Amino acid sequence: MVFVGLGSNLGDSAAILQAAFVSLDELPDTRLLKASRLYRTPAWGLTSQPDFLNAVAMLDTTLTPQALLAALLRIERDAGRLRRDDGSDRWGPRTLDLDLLLYADQVIEEPGLRVPHPHLHDRAFALLPLVEIAPQVRIPGIGAACDSLARMATDDIQALPYTPPPPTHAAR
């Protein structure tokens, strides 16, 4: 099981995230198993920007973590995400942000790829949708995601009315 965090705060964020769920399901050797609801969350890091919509996708994939990350970056670019080479826009507004949160129970530390996501256990905007679709999931080196979530405030996060996830491919 692989979990990907989705976020957007520019443009029609709900439509962008729904399209991203479809794009994830269309990746080679990958199937979207579950998609969380969308959550409206205050900006984190650089707070003087519009609220985000966030969600989490559960995937089944045979792509390597590196190949999956490359695919996530392509999906971001296709959605209009521009990244500055110097990283100065790291906390700024974006059309689409896709983060590889968990890749099974692997721990990966290499340039450009850290799994589990190094701040996952500190971010309610990622934990809330993660725990919604995988209540028993564990963060390697940290413990149960639900325990991390229980230690933080979530009253500033609003679940949006439920939108069913897009259908997965019936045949591959």
The pLDDT tens digits of the residues spanning 87-119 come to: 545 555 788 999 999 999 999 999 989 999 888
Is there a catalytic annotation at residue 94? yes
At 98 the pLDDT is: 95
Q: Exactly one of 83, 97, 138, 147 is catalytic; name it.
A: 97
Alpha-carbon 147 to chain mean position: 19
Length of the chain: 172
Could you tell me if residue 169 is left (phi over 0), alpha (psi between -120 and 50 degrees) or otherwise beta?
Answer: beta
Does residue 155 carry a catalytic annotation?
Answer: no
Task: List the chain pLDDT tens, one digit each, 172 residues.
Answer: 999 999 999 999 999 999 999 999 999 999 999 999 999 998 877 667 789 999 999 999 999 999 999 999 999 989 876 665 655 455 557 889 999 999 999 999 999 899 998 889 889 999 999 999 999 999 999 999 999 999 999 999 999 987 666 656 544 4
Closest residue by Cα to residue 166 from 40, 52, 14, 63 = 14
Structure pTM?
0.90
Q: Which of 29, 37, 77, 81 is catalytic?
A: 81
Domains, the chain, ranges and CATH? 2-159 (3.30.70.560)
43 backbone dihedrals φ, ψ, rounded to 5°? -60, 145
Catalytic pick among 74, 99, 147, 172: 99
